[in-house]
Amino acid sequence: MSESSIARDAILHAVRAAQPPSVALPEVQTVLAVRARPVGDPVARFTAAAQHAGARVLSSPRDAVPDLIASTFPNTGRADSELFVCEGVLGVVENGAIWLSESRLERRAALFLATHVVVLLDTSALVEDLHAAYAQLDIASEVFGMFMAGPSKTADIEQSLVVGAQGPKGLTIVLRTPSDSDSASGSSSRPPATRATP
């Protein structure tokens, strides 16, 4: 037997011997039931939460996004060290976080090495809170997934907030609204998702 498997059996044995009498698993539903009903426009509330986390939030019809990025970052190359643009999977209204996953990132490291990150997110991909987000996501289907809320931060020196601690110094979220051509087909005009039914 390897040392680790001896250790494994010893730990599991010790834990089983030590476990206090069973406590039942409470239902997460108990807390969802007492949640206050959110009020106000989800896009506006997401924007406020993301700004509070230090992100810049822009809005653009889908087909105008390339021009918007070009005009917002006129002198920036798309090299890892400067600007990194990626697609967000969903956004959380409650805290302004965006879910990013491995399959939608060209190279994960660039997300942290770049000086400035731009995340593109459809307004239709907003959910109210983390409960709704996890209900909708299948987080185990990819090796990496992440909620990102604002640019990298630290306050380790005298509690002074410094943005751009080790990762990006800036985060811009571009909220994509349907283009005229999209709404003609009606494909992207559904309202923001609320809690997904489990």
Contact positions with another protein (CB under 8 A) in 18-77: 18-26, 28, 30-31, 34-36, 49, 52-53
Site residue total, another protein (CB under 8 A) = 75
Q: Binding to another protein (CB under 8 A): which residues in 157-196?
A: 157-160, 162, 164-168
**Residues 6 or more apart in contact with residue 80 via CB below 8 angstroms:** 107, 109, 110, 113, 114
Report which of 139, 50, 158, 169 is spatially closest to residue 98, judged by C-alpha positions.
50
Tell which one of 48, 59, 65, 112 touches another protein (CB under 8 A). Answer: 112
Tell which one of 124, 147, 193, 194 touches another protein (CB under 8 A). Answer: 147
Question: Which CB, 142 or 182, lies closer to another protein?
Answer: 142
**Residues 6 or more apart in contact with residue 47 via CB below 8 angstroms:** 57, 96, 175
Instruction: State both tokens at 6.
Output: 């001896």
Cβ 146 to another protein shortest distance, Å: 5
Is 148 among the residues that bind another protein (CB under 8 A)?
A: yes
CB 132 within 8 Å of CB 193? yes
Cβ 173 to another protein shortest distance, Å: 13
The residue range among 57-65, 118-126, 150-158, 182-190 that interacts with another protein, by the rule CB under 8 A, is 150-158
Instruction: State both tokens at 43.
Output: 């896009």
Tell which one of 64, 65, 130, 193 touches another protein (CB under 8 A). Answer: 130
Tell which one of 16, 180, 186, 197 touches another protein (CB under 8 A). Answer: 16
**Residues 6 or more apart in contact with residue 90 via CB below 8 angstroms:** 98, 99, 121, 125, 126, 127, 133, 136, 137, 193
Please give the single-letter amino acid code of residue 162: V
Residues making up the chain, counted from first to last: 198
Question: Which CB, 82 or 129, lies closer to another protein?
Answer: 129
Q: Binding to another protein (CB under 8 A): which residues in 72-111?
A: 92, 94-97, 102, 108-109, 111
Largest CA distance in the chain: 66
Tell which one of 60, 131, 170, 178 touches another protein (CB under 8 A). Answer: 131
